[in-house]
Amino acid sequence: MSEAMKRAYEHSEKWLKGLKTARVNAVASEAQLRLAFAGPLPQTGCAAPEVVDYIADNAKDGLLGSAGGRFFAWVIGGGVPSALAADWLVSTWDQNAAVYASSPASAVIEEVAGEWIKELLDLPKGASFAFTTGCQMAHMTALASARHAVLAKYGWSIEDDGLWGAPQIKIFTSGNRHGSVERAARYLGLGRKCFHPVATDELGRMLPEALEREMADYDGPAIVALNAADLNVGACDPFAELIPIAKQKDAWVHCDGAFGLFARASRKKKHLVAGIELADSWVTDGHKWLNVPFDCGIAIVNDPKAHRAAMTLAVDYVASSQSARDQMDWNPEWSRRARGVPVYAALKEMGRNGVEDMIDRCCTFCLEIVQGIGAIDGAEIVSVPTLNQGMVRFTRNGNSDEQNDTYTLEIMEAINASGEAFFSDTIWHGRRAMRVSVVNWRTTKKDVQKTIAIITKVLTA
């Protein structure tokens, strides 16, 4: 056992050291990866250390440097040292963190981590929470709580009677919602047609007068799903105006803050999500802006009764201690790893100040990269970041818009192929743009300069 662990540690150390200088892109082709890993199911075994070496050696060219400081694609995040190390411990302990009885220490650590998260994000102290695999399952958990609560108002028990014959639920939301909201609704049997679109301004923020208008004639069970930062411009819905409108119609308000909810940890950025504390449920990720390793999502629900009712099994045979928290009462999973432990570690390592510093740093670097790119000949800024998301595009004299769409993609691919920095693209208002997303604690001023330098080089070439 220890030799395999030692090898894993050595590979990990090499990998982490390499993040500063190694290529950010994957260079192995799909065919190479298949060649390396495919083959018949082994008839006989192989020594554990060899297995570890084999996987590490053959995977490395097919991995992205997404844990490093020059990775700006999607919204990924890295892992702060204590969180990564704590994640190893969680694997080593190999506890089933389903209930207190099956791992007392995990239950207590996760309980504290959840309390700390609520405090960090300045959300109601009495809210309940769950550590899930990601925001996707956090949506499902929170929306299951919402479904319970809005149907209970109509005397309907979703847990007993299911959805057949239940009053129809409408989800009022903008077109700017993340796809995971829709998928969570599908998991819950609500279906795509339950979505009722609400108009936005040009940045994608829901318009209060539009919500008021859309809800005016409706008096059935309602959920209003709002956005704390979208992926393109980091646009946040005007919560302080929207939530009272929803509340007047007795709706449940759910907020997607996969990364944006962390704006609440920054005194400089908190105003962007002002009023969000008035909502009924929030979801966010540990594996994005908190920088704990995959996977970790968090659901927070300001109606613990609805939350518990939606998730609990309350089975008799699992010993339940009166005061301790059984995670299974709040999670969609049964057996599970204690993914709240790395969260505890990250918060203990950084403290409130450290998290705030990381959030502010990411926002500053995002702005610097966008402005730096914008100053290069042949590049233009599409959106100046207000949080940690910005957009740029590349243009050539005489090009049509369509040609510049293709050109932007070509330049982005050339930047990515350089191995010096890595970006992803999007369509914004019908035109292609390159996103600049900064969520990693490892990104430094030097990374920013190096990134702008490589883009300049690619554009010049």
Binding residues for ligand PLP (CB under 6 A): 75, 134-136, 178, 180, 231, 256, 258-259, 285, 297
Structural contact between residues 135 and 258, judged by C-beta atoms closer than 8 angstroms: yes
Contacts of 63 (CB under 8 A, 6+ apart): 26
In angstroms, give the least distance from the CB of 315 to ligand PLP: 28
Pair 256, 142: CB distance under 8 Å: no
Smallest gap from Cβ 403 to ligand PLP, in A, equals: 30
Comparing CB distances to ligand PLP, the nearer of 211 and 292 is 292
In this complex, which beta carbon is closest to ligand PLP, that of residue 138 or of residue 341?
138
Q: How far is CA 334 from CA 113, 142, 297, 328, 343, in A?
A: 20, 17, 16, 6, 20
Question: Contacts for 53-59 with beta carbons within 8 Å, 24 or more apart?
Answer: 53/7, 53/11, 56/7, 56/8, 56/11, 56/15, 58/33
Closest by CA to 74, choosing from 255, 285, 371, 283, is: 285
How far is CA 133 from each of CA 5, 210, 348, 428, rounded to the nearest angstrom?
Answer: 25, 34, 21, 29
CB of residue 295 to ligand PLP, shortest distance in Å: 7
3-class DSSP state for residue 23? coil
Q: Minimum Å distance from CB 297 to ligand PLP?
A: 5
Nearer residue to ligand PLP within complex by CB, 259 or 330: 259
CB of 177 to ligand PLP, least distance (A): 8
Report the amino acid identity of residue 376: I
Query: What is the total residue count of the chain?
Result: 461
Least distance to ligand PLP from the beta carbon of 259, Å?
A: 6
Residue 319 phi/psi, 5-degree rounding, is -60, 125
Closest separation in Å from C-beta 256 to ligand PLP? 5
- For residues 24 and 415, is the Cβ–Cβ distance under 8 A? no
Helices 208-216, 239-248: axis angle to 10 degrees equals: 10
Neighbours of 460 (CB within 10 A): 9
Shorter beta-carbon distance to ligand PLP: residue 136 or 416: 136
Which residues, other chains included, contact 61 with Cβ-Cβ below 8 Å and sequence gap of 6+?
26, 27, 28, 32
Smallest distance from the beta carbon of 38 to ligand PLP, in angstroms?
28
Distance of CA 220 to the CA centre of its chain: 31
Which of 231/369 has CB closer to ligand PLP? 231
CB-CB neighbours of 341 under 10 Å: 26
At its nearest, how many Å lie between ligand PLP and the CB of residue 323? 31
The C-alpha angle 249, 252, 254, rounded to 5 degrees, equals 135
Q: Minimal distance in Å, beta carbon 70 to ligand PLP?
A: 20
